[in-house]
Amino acid sequence: MIALAEKVIRCCRHLSTMTEAPGRTTRTFLSPPMRDVHAELIQWMHELGMSTRIDAAGNLRGLWGDDHAARVIIGSHLDTVPNAGAFDGILGVVLGIALVETKPEMAVEVVGFSEEEGVRFGFPFVGSRAFTGTLGQDVDTVAPAIRAYGLDPDELPAARFSPCSAAYLEFHIEQGPILEHLNLPLGIVDRIVGQSRYQLSFTGNANHAGTTPMHLRNDALAAAAEWITEVERSPAEFAGLVATVGLLNVTPNAVNIVPGEVHASLDVRHALDPVRHSACKSLLGKANDAGQKRGVVVTHEIRLDQPAVPMDANLRDHLAKAAEIAGYPIHHMDSGAGHDAMIVAPHLPSAMLFLRSPGGISHHPDENVLAEDVAAALTVGAHFLGSYAHAG
Ligand code: HGY
Ligand code: MN
Ligand code: MN
């Protein structure tokens, strides 16, 4: 399996060069380099005798086996964050195609979701929500981009997963330090933590930096800055919480002008939904307080309220048995990162297998994966498919 694992890594690194931003890996929803990624993977799929299509959401779909046979879906996402690494998402798709090379007995559909990160529109999971028929009103926002790419939004119902689908399996890098700390190659995900995303606006008054006395200012950035330190402090009040302000736009954004307007993102995650919701309420209140002190008006828009999602217990057991037969120790863990599996799981029994992230680094060009861990995942995956075929 190590040769196949090395082929998987070579492929992921090659695909990471297909980017909107030369010199760094950035590939957002239905961007031009997505066509190159599709072409590369479709060629490999065709060499394996798979049938392929691009659905109306831009998801790459490849089927091994009979169209009417019970199938396992192996999927992840093909889009990336800005200045990404080479493995987040795409490893799960490439590894799925590599598993087809082992000629599994049962039908396998490999799905490359078109959008999971939420970079283009601020809300994530567009591909997997089309796959599960849960795009809702967001279809109005994404429809023009779908048309511009040459696809037809009216065809979105045909993007839904086949009724022959029996289970969903996602291979993904852990994106954190736990497996490396435990010196283990693989982890089985028990639950994906819940996630809230907001867009906040701080509206003050731009003015001359030299002539406006400090007590007469409505400085939007000073308000946002005070709030951001509160965000950083919030886990002290809500144990187990992670909260991040990752995006900040300042207007007019000039050295000698008091900032009049700030747009900031908020990403809040916790394993327990009530704690996450309380933390969000507290942090939005603190944003208002920081604004009020300065005559700055604070508003917010919610972009995502994604509940925590448990993975399917039977599939987790199946994965654990496959790992045992393959001779690999397994660690059960939660996922702090969001994944397409959390969108699919309410509709189809779903499971995730994590691969160790060397250095615990992700959403960064230094993101990496070890060939021996990819070989381990392929071996466990092959055993999983083999035994699942007979599980009936
Ligand atoms: O943000 C996340 O958790 C994932 O990487 N999309
Ligand atoms: Mn990601
Ligand atoms: Mn991912």
Please indicate, yes or no, whether residues 260 and 351 belong to a single structural domain of this protein. no
* Pairwise CA distance, residues 28 & 19, whole Å: 9
Count of C-beta atoms within a 10 Å radius of residue 288:
17
Atom of ligand 1 nearest to the CA of 362: 5
Same domain, 161 and 140: yes
Kindly report the backbone phi and psi dihedral angles of residue 111, in degrees, each rounded to the nearest multiple of 5, phi listed first: -120, 125
Separation of alpha carbons 156 and 58, rounded Å: 10
- Last residue of one domain, picked from the residues 271, 306, 341: 306
Neighbours of 293 (CB within 10 A): 11
- Integer Cα distance of 70 and 17 in angstroms: 35
CA nearest ligand 1 atom 4, residue: 338
- 43 plus 129 within the same structural domain: yes
- Taking the mean position of all CA atoms in its chain, how far away is CA 272? 19
Ligand 1 atom with the smallest distance to the CA of 116 is: 6
DSSP 216: G
255 with 355, same domain: the answer is: no
Structural element, H or E, at residue 10: helix 2-15
- Same domain? 218 vs 288: yes
Question: Do residues 43 and 64 both lie within one domain?
Answer: yes
> Does one domain contain both 220 and 297?
yes
What pLDDT sits at residue 392? Answer: 58
Whole-number pLDDT of residue 299: 98
Same domain, 323 and 289: no
Percent of the chain that is helix, strand, coil (3-state, to 5)? 40, 25, 35
User: Residue 116 Cα, ligand 3 centroid: separation in angstroms?
Assistant: 7
Give the CATH number, domain containing residue 198. 3.30.70.360
Q: How many domains does the chain have?
A: 2
- Picking from 266, 289, 306, the residue at the C-terminal end of a domain is 306
The alpha carbon of 124 and the centre of ligand 1 are apart by a number of angstroms equal to 9
Q: Are residues 386 and 295 in the same domain?
A: no
The token pair at 99 is 């598993």
* Range of the structural domain that residue 40 is part of: 2-192+308-391
Same domain, 185 and 211: no
What number does the ligand 1 atom closest to the CA of 267 have?
1
**How far does the centroid of ligand 2 lie from the alpha carbon of residue 190, in Å?**
19
Q: Which atom of ligand 1 is nearest to the CA of 338?
A: 3
Pocket test for ligand 1, best of 117, 364, 367 (most atoms within 8 A of CB): 117
Residues 289 and 327 in one domain: no
Instruction: Indicate whether 227 and 135 sit together in one domain.
Output: no
Predicted local confidence at residue 83, as pLDDT: 98
Buried b (16+ CB within 10 A) or exposed e, 190-228: bbbbbbbbbbbbbbbbbbeeeebeeeebbbbbbbbbbbb
Among protein residues, the one whose CA lies closest to atom 6 of ligand 1: 117
Ligand 1 shell residues, CB under 6 Å: 116-117, 124, 337-338
Q: How far is the CA of 115 from the centre of ligand 1 (A)?
A: 11
- Of 261, 286, 306, at which residue does a domain stop? 306
Question: Is residue 55 classed as helix, strand or coil in its secondary structure?
Answer: coil
Q: How far is the CA of 337 from the centre of ligand 1 (A)?
A: 5
Task: Pick the ligand that lies closest to the CA of residue 341.
Answer: 3
pLDDT values of the chain reduced to their tens digit, one per residue, 392 residues? 999 999 999 999 999 999 999 999 999 999 999 999 999 999 999 999 999 999 999 999 999 999 999 999 999 999 999 999 999 999 999 999 999 999 999 999 999 999 999 999 999 999 999 999 999 999 999 999 999 999 999 999 999 999 999 999 999 999 999 999 999 999 999 999 999 999 999 999 999 999 999 999 999 999 999 999 999 999 999 999 999 999 999 999 999 999 999 999 999 999 999 999 999 999 999 999 999 999 999 999 999 999 999 999 999 999 999 999 999 999 999 999 999 999 999 999 999 999 999 999 999 999 999 999 999 999 999 999 999 877 75
Q: What is the CATH number of the domain that holds 146?
A: 3.40.630.10
